[in-house]
Amino acid sequence: MANNIENSEVDLDLPPQKELKPGLYLVATPIGNLRDITLRALDVLKAVDVIACEDTRTSGKLLSFYNVKKPLLPYHDHNADEQRPHLISRIQKGEKVALISDAGMPLISDPGYKLVRDCQEQDIYITSLPGANAPLMALQLSGLPTNAFSFLGFLPAKSKARCTVLEEWQESASPLIIFESANRLDDTLMDMKAVLGDRACTVVRELTKYFEDVWPGKISDHIDRIARDGQPKGEIVIVVAGKDAASQTFDLDALLTRELERSSLREAVQAVTEMTGLSRKVVYDAALKLKA
């Protein structure tokens, strides 16, 4: 009998939030959809004495949505050296401090690691509250192998410097995850194709937001798309295949033909996707052409 969740009694009793001890609390925040925050994160944000954040205006909107009324203290690249001793002093006096970023996990392409390091040196309690994370979401949606990956953050804005970084990673066998602004996407993709070759690549746009969009394919597919449709808008994550998957030589039709002879379409696509490292869409489209 199907389990009717709406009509069944579900025990939603949660253990009470323990009283926080003085320390630094690294709290993940939503990357777009405001509902992507954990109950524990809300408990901690309401219990700390002060919340350190990149932009008080951005964080203020989130906290206002959840009726969290705590002092906000700006902590960003331009004032971090000045603020770190102040935050550590407050914790040493018995206060609880939360560190949040504008979106996602603190310290991931955001300031904060020096604060963690200095707290460790002072034997200050530190803990992390997990949550929304754009790089991992993009990797999930890419259709590329997920057993290992490298996160590069934002590449340099200038083409020469960008190519230099890409050259350092062109031998990597695992997927590369890259942040990029929409207005530089086509330039970055062209540099990636020139340095890495025309690899399998997924472009993910506006994660968790209303216009979330996922583009599977190859680097050249996305260059052609932008030339045809114009630059996209929003926040971009690129996931590109590692060298091994991109440099393998194989006959895709032959592999699919062999697998289709002994398994279903779905199973054949899954098997060939894992063998080649290509995106599932590329393999699936090829399989449909063979079946036709």
Q: Output the average pLDDT for the chain.
A: 89
Least confident piece of the model among 14-28, 50-64, 217-231 = 14-28
Place 245 in a pLDDT band, splitting at 50, 70 and 90: low
- Mean pLDDT across 139-162: 93
Concatenating the DSSP letter of every residue in 51-120 gives: EEES-HHHHHHHHHHTT----EEE--TTTHHHHHHHHHHHHHTT-EEEE--SSBSTTSSSS-HHHHHHHH
Asked whether the predicted pLDDT for residue 8 surpasses 50, the reply is: no
Asked whether the predicted pLDDT for residue 10 surpasses 50, the reply is: no
In this structure, are residues 112 and 71 in contact, taking their beta carbons and an 8 Å threshold? no
Least confident piece of the model among 40-54, 222-236, 266-280 = 266-280
Asked whether the predicted pLDDT for residue 125 surpasses 90, the reply is: yes
Least confident piece of the model among 37-51, 91-105, 210-224, 249-263 = 249-263
- Mean pLDDT across 236-247: 81
Place 109 in a pLDDT band, splitting at 50, 70 and 90: confident
Q: Residue 16's pLDDT is what?
A: 63
The DSSP code for 135 is H
- Mean pLDDT across 120-146: 95
Concatenating the DSSP letter of every residue in 166-207 gives: HHHHTT-SS-EEEEEEGGGHHHHHHHHHHHH-S-BEEEEEST
Residue with tokens 């199907």: 2
Least confident piece of the model among 8-22, 46-60, 159-173, 268-282 = 8-22
Q: Residue 1's pLDDT is what?
A: 40
Residue with the bigger pLDDT between 244 and 163: it is 163
Least confident piece of the model among 62-66, 104-108, 287-291 = 287-291
- Mean pLDDT across 212-238: 95
Asked whether the predicted pLDDT for residue 292 surpasses 60, the reply is: yes
Place 5 in a pLDDT band, splitting at 50, 70 and 90: very low
Asked whether the predicted pLDDT for residue 41 surpasses 50, the reply is: yes
Place 246 in a pLDDT band, splitting at 50, 70 and 90: very low
- Per-residue pLDDT of 42-56, as tens digits, reads 999 999 999 999 999
Cβ-proximal residues to 188 (8 Å cutoff; 6+ apart), any chain: 155, 162, 178, 180, 238
- Mean pLDDT across 205-225: 95
Q: Residue 14's pLDDT is what?
A: 61
- Per-residue pLDDT of 186-203, as tens digits, reads 999 999 999 999 999 999
